[in-house]
Structure 1
Amino acid sequence: MKKLINRQPGRVGQWALGLLPFVLLIIAYLIASDARLAANANDKLLPALNSFADAIQRMAFEPSKRSGDYLLWVDTLASLQRLAMGVGISALMALAVGIANGTIPYIRATLSPLVTGLSLVPPMAMLPVLFIIFGLGELAKVMLIIIGITPFLIRDLQQRALEIPREQIIKMQTLGANSWQIITRLVWPQLMPRLIGAVRLSLGPAWLFLIAAEAIAATEGLGYRIFLVRRYLAMDVILPYVVWITLLAFAIDFMLSRYSRWRYPWFHQQGH
């Protein structure tokens, strides 16, 4: 008989075990909601499921009486655009600086202390400064994401570059490769799948910074809508928006994972 530590669930078992916590959460919510509504039919803290359906219908499939927009889709598009810009710029900056820090000692000695210092600054503390410098427009929201996740990405890629076996670099130098060729043909290919992995890990903080910025200064966006309706205790809108944000984050993470496996199969075959 196999020990528990050596037993692996099958494909169906993995799906079932993965769905089990969500099913239990839904059941727990239904029980708690029924109990609160039985005590107070007007309770807004834990609405019934039909309230969620009505709110989704109103936000996603009926035009707003004030603007004529389908609010859920307008909010989603605005937030995804900000997220894509912030994460995309952060990834490009991290790739350039992380490779430079990890491969060129003079650059590492110059920039690494600065990156370390910036990574220790609480990004949320910089939000008022960003609004003062960049105003209340889109740039401040994107900059908060960049400031929040870029130092982490740079430090991660720098460390990954330093972990590349020295023997590989020596072999390329023996074959006559210069520094640029070593970076583009050895370091770059090995860091790209690691960059995707680091971006996946940074999506959670990126969403956090985005929603915080939208809650303070925005006219559309998922974070803006959540904090707008909270004054009415509209949990029938807030909870579906939270679930929708979670689904979007999961979809982005899944697509990045599949792309990494398709583009860099050798990396994942090594057990990463």
Structure 2
Amino acid sequence: MRFINRQPGRGGRWLLALLPLILLVLVYGIASSARLADNPDDKLLPGLTQMADAMGRMAFEADKRSGDYLLWSDTAASLIRLGLGLGIAALTGLVFGVAAGVFPLLRAPLSPMMTVVSMVPPLAVLPILFIVFGLDELSKVMLIVIGVAPILARDLEQRAREIPQELFVKAQTLGANSWTLVLRVVLPQLLSRLLVSLRLMLGSAWLFLISAEAISATAGLGYRIFLVRRYLAMDVILPYVVWITLLAWLMDWGLRGLNRWLFPWSEGGRT
């Protein structure tokens, strides 16, 4: 059998998925043990025990200054900002994507504008956001919106333009008006794509969030990472990076499950 036609079984799929992670942990453990053997005070590659102790303090010991459990308060602050940013970006991207993708009169001004806006590096406008919206939560949320919404809008516009014109002709023949076309023909096609696009943009959204928190915040995962870096606290930084990765993966998994549940046909499932 040719290699291109070989399919892993259920157990083999799990093993292949975990293999890179196992190898990464193994390589890190060997490198960390070698450095700590030469210098027990080395902070560059802390041991797994050191990281577990540090995360235990962050998660289960109240901070003496604030009284908060820092890991959970940082996680809550970041997830609230991320959720608001992605929610507003999804709604904005859907509205502009439908408008530009379905209505030619709106496409003429909107499509070039969305193309130009999507090319602006979001981090380059972060100082402007701080000046306009201040250093509080709004500027961080708006950075996510500005970074994600134009990409979503362009993707949804393209998907809307790919809908066969025959569907619009048939719907109008049956008496559908423009509003009915959007609700009954366009949205069912685009909502599934919106969830897929959100999954693809999760990494960028986290990047924008961490960048904003690193510059101006009093709580959040990005704030904590850049706060402890001055102490070379790799035993906190590395677990925080792993925690952010896990949260992003869980969000991706949740969006994929939601897509399968609401739109089983989108991945070839049974309706």
CA offsets per residue over residues 118-177 of structure 1, 9 Å max, x none? 001010000000001111000000000000011000000000000001111111122121
Distance 1:120 1:230, change over 3 A: same
Match of 2:57 in 1: 58
Match of 2:8 in 1: 9
1:39 lines up with 2:38 in the alignment: yes
Give the CA deviation at 1:199.
0.5
TM-score, normalising length: structure 2:
0.98
Give runs of aligned pairs for residues 197-236 of structure 1, distance below 5 A.
197-236=196-235
Quote the Cα distance in structure 2 between the aligned partners of 1:3 and 1:168.
41
Quote the Cα distance in structure 1 between the aligned partners of 2:159 and 2:237.
40
1:127 lines up with 2:131 in the alignment: no
Quote the Cα distance in structure 1 between the aligned partners of 2:3 and 2:269.
25
Structure 2 unpaired stretches of 5+? none
Give runs of aligned pairs for residues 1-272 of structure 1, distance below 5 A.
2-269=1-268
Give the 3-state SS of the residue equivalent to 2:120 in structure 1: coil
Amino acid at match of 2:55: I
Give the CA deviation at 1:267.
1.6
CA offsets per residue over residues 234-260 of structure 1, 9 Å max, x none? 000000000000000000110110011
Quote the Cα distance in structure 1 between the aligned partners of 2:264 and 2:48.
43
Quote the Cα distance in structure 1 between the aligned partners of 2:81 and 2:122.
16
Quote the Cα distance in structure 2 between the aligned partners of 1:129 and 1:93.
21
Quote the Cα distance in structure 1 between the aligned partners of 2:203 and 2:171.
38
Of stretches 36-45 and 223-232 in structure 1, the one that deviates more from structure 2 is 36-45
Give the CA deviation at 1:179.
1.3
Distance 1:270 1:161, change over 3 A: farther
Amino acid at match of 2:196: G
Quote the Cα distance in structure 2 between the aligned partners of 1:57 and 1:29.
20
Quote the Cα distance in structure 1 between the aligned partners of 2:8 and 2:269.
21
Quote the Cα distance in structure 2 between the aligned partners of 1:156 and 1:231.
40
CA offsets per residue over residues 182-202 of structure 1, 9 Å max, x none? 111000111000000001111
Structure 1 unpaired stretches of 5+? none
RMSD: 1.0
Of stretches 30-39 and 262-271 in structure 1, the one that deviates more from structure 2 is 262-271
Aligned-pair identity in percent equals 63
CA offsets per residue over residues 81-109 of structure 1, 9 Å max, x none? 00000000000011111011000001000
Amino acid at match of 1:260: N
Quote the Cα distance in structure 2 between the aligned partners of 1:38 and 1:9.
40
TM-score, normalising length: structure 1:
0.98
Quote the Cα distance in structure 2 between the aligned partners of 1:87 and 1:177.
32
CA offsets per residue over residues 50-97 of structure 1, 9 Å max, x none? 101110110000000111110000000000000000000000011111
Amino acid at match of 1:92: L
Quote the Cα distance in structure 1 between the aligned partners of 2:240 and 2:266.
36
Give the CA deviation at 1:270.
6.9
Quote the Cα distance in structure 1 between the aligned partners of 2:22 and 2:100.
46
Q: Which runs of 4+ in 1 moved over 2 A?
A: none
